[in-house]
Amino acid sequence: MGLLDAIKGWRGGADEVQRWVVVDVESSGLDAERDRLLAIAAVAVQADDQHPHILLGDSFEVVLRQAEAAGRLPDKANILLHGIGVGAQRTGVEPAQALAAFERYVGASPLLAFHAAFDRTMIERAFQAVLGHRPAVPWLDIEPVAAVLHPQVRARSLDEWMAHFDIRCLVRHQAAADTLATAELLLKLWPAMRAQGVRPSFKAVAKLAAQRRWVTG
């Protein structure tokens, strides 16, 4: 099922449509099909047409307990990157409890991320393995939206887009900080959407993301 098909079948209520959730994960490595989900962070955005803003009081962060961390040599380079040490991994929240809490937090809101395929795969794999189902909400990748709205910008990574819009992030590659930076990037795209006559509804933004595939496919 394609992105637009999934959105057509989505039944978010009027209030939830205005609340979008930006998410980022930390993992034991970069292989989304094999590595473990370590942490999830998220922050809500009030997707108001005129005055969109980040809901700093509406955020989520959890480290999942890693039974596999016991007796295993830590990947020191990876720990230095995300800051989640073996101790934190061993004493985190039980995966079933953590994922159920995340599902309650998200509710009917759509999920957004930068290069969302990785975050989505990690979260859906964990949900399927632990809870037996996947989150029943649509996902959206912010990167193609930025590329369509600003085709003159030669940026691909989150760091490059942050540099272009002068978005500051004191601690990169930690889920909570990356989530906030991604949410700020989303808000930076709002003026370009309005300038192109796009009402920033979730479905309209998803159509922008699909344009990237049509142009490059």
Domain spans, the chain: 3-7+16-216
Q: What average pLDDT does this structure show over 7-14?
A: 40
Higher pLDDT, 139 or 18: 139
Q: What DSSP line would sit under the chain, residue for residue?
A: --HHHHHHT----HHHHHEEEEEEEEESSS-TTTSPEEEEEEEEEE--SSS-EEEEEEEEEEEB--GGGTTS---HHHHHHH---HHHHHTSB-HHHHHHHHHHHHTT--EEETTHHHHHHHHHHHHHHHHSS---S-EEEHHHHHHHH-TT----SHHHHHHHHT---SSTTSHHHHHHHHHHHHHHHHHHHHHTT----HHHHHHHHHHHHHHH-
- pLDDT-based confidence at residue 70 (cuts at 50, 70, 90): very low
When the candidates are 3.40.50.261, 1.10.1330.10, 3.30.420.10, 3.40.50.2000, the CATH number that belongs to 3-7+16-216 is 3.30.420.10
85 has a pLDDT exceeding 70:
no
To the nearest whole percent, how much of the chain has pLDDT over 70? 79
142 has a pLDDT exceeding 80:
yes
Q: What is the pLDDT at residue 15?
A: 41
Q: What average pLDDT does this structure show over 187-215?
A: 84
Q: What is the pLDDT at residue 146?
A: 96
